[in-house]
Amino acid sequence: MIYRRRRPGQNSEDPVPFTKHLVDQITALHRDTVRRWHQQELDNPDDGFLATVCQQHQFNYLLWHEEDVARSPDAPDGRIAEVKRAIDRYNQQRNDWIEKIDEQLIEELASRRVVPRPAARLNTETPGAAIDRLSILALRIYHLEEQAARDDVDPSHRAKVDQRLERCGEQLGDLANSLAELLHDVFSGNKVLKVYRQFKMYNDPAMNPYLYRAQKLAG
C-alpha cells in the first residue's frame, strides 16, 4: 500500500500532499541506493510500492554498468557477447517493472475508489515511465559526481562536468515536479492512467525470427 497518512487538518480527498511526499520518497530512494550499492551488494529494504520502485531501479543500475563494460575496447569478444545478453535481459526486466509500477498505482486508485472524470485525459507518458527516467538521472548524477571528484583531470574537464551536473539537477527537479503534478491529476480523476505494454519482441522465441528459425533448424 502507498503512503497515505494525513497531516492534521488535511482534506482526506486532497491528493497533493500525498503525491508530493511520494515523489520526494522516490527521488531520495534513487539517490541513496545508488550511493549505497556502490559500497555494498544490492538490497531492497523497502516494502509495498517503494519496493517495486527500488526493484525497477536495480535493473537500471545493473544495465548502466553492463553498458560501461560493453564500450570497453579491451573487452574480449566472448565477454562482449555475455554483456550484450545481460543488457537485453536487464532492459527487458527494466521495462517489465515500469509496467509493474503503473499496475500498482492502478491498484491504489481502485482501493481509493478514484474514478476518472468524464473529461479526463491521457498523459504522453505514465508515472512508471517518469520514475524510470528519474532513476536514470540519479545514476547519471552519481557518475558525474565521480568525475567531478577526480584528481587526475584538468580544469576544463571539471568545468564540463559541473555544467552537466547543473543541467541534470535542473532536469531532475523539473521531472520530479512534473511527476507530482501527473500523480495529482491521476489521483484527482483529472487524468486517466493505463498500463502501456512494451511488447518487446527480441527476447520472445516466438517473435524474434533469429530465435524461431534456429528452433526450427534444431528440430
DSSP 1-36: -------TT--TT--HHHHHHHHHHHHHHHHHHHHH
Select from 172, 200, 190, 18 the least CA-distant residue to 97.
Answer: 200
Asked if residue 7 is part of any domain, the answer here is no
- Considering the domain boundaries, does residue 3 fall inside one? no
Q: Is the pLDDT of residue 214 over 90?
A: no
Q: What pLDDT score does 6 carry?
A: 39
CA–CA separation, 192 and 177 (whole Å) = 19
Cell numbers standing for residue 78: 566472448
Among 36-45, 97-106, 133-142, 205-214, which stretch is predicted with the lowest mean pLDDT? 205-214
CA dist., res. 191 & res. 100, Å (int) = 19
Query: Are the beta carbons of 161 and 147 closer than 8 angstroms?
Result: yes
The yes-or-no verdict on residue 8 having pLDDT over 50 is no
- pLDDT tens-digit profile of 101-128? 999 999 999 999 999 999 999 999 999 9
68-92 mean pLDDT: 82
Alpha carbons 26 and 201: distance in angstroms, whole number = 30
Share of the chain above pLDDT 70, in %: 82
Residue 8 counted as domain residue: no
Determine the average pLDDT of the residues in 199-206: 60
pLDDT at 81: 80
Per-residue pLDDT band for 11 (boundaries 50, 70, 90) equals: very low
Confidence tier at 5 by pLDDT (50, 70, 90)? very low
Q: Is residue 11 part of a domain?
A: no
For residue 34, being part of any structural domain is answered with: yes
Q: Mark 60-82 as b/e (b = at least 16 C-beta within 10 Å).
A: bbbbbbbeeeeeeeeeeeeeeee
pLDDT in tens, 56-70: 999 999 999 988 777
Q: Give the range among 25-34, 67-76, 171-180 with minimum mean pLDDT.
A: 67-76
Which residue(s) pair with 192 in the sheet? 122
Residue 212 CA, distance from chain mean position: 31
Q: What average pLDDT score do residues 95-100 get?
A: 96
Mean pLDDT of the chain: 87
Q: Are strands 191-192 and 121-122 parallel, antiparallel or unpaired?
A: parallel
Write out the DSSP string of 153-204.
Answer: S-HHHHHHHHHHHHHHHHHHHHHHHHHHHHHHHHHHTSEE---------TT-
> 25: domain range?
16-218
Residue 55 lies in a domain: yes
CB of 57 closer than 8 Å to CB of 135: yes
Q: Is residue 4 situated within a structural domain? A: no
Domain count, the chain: 1
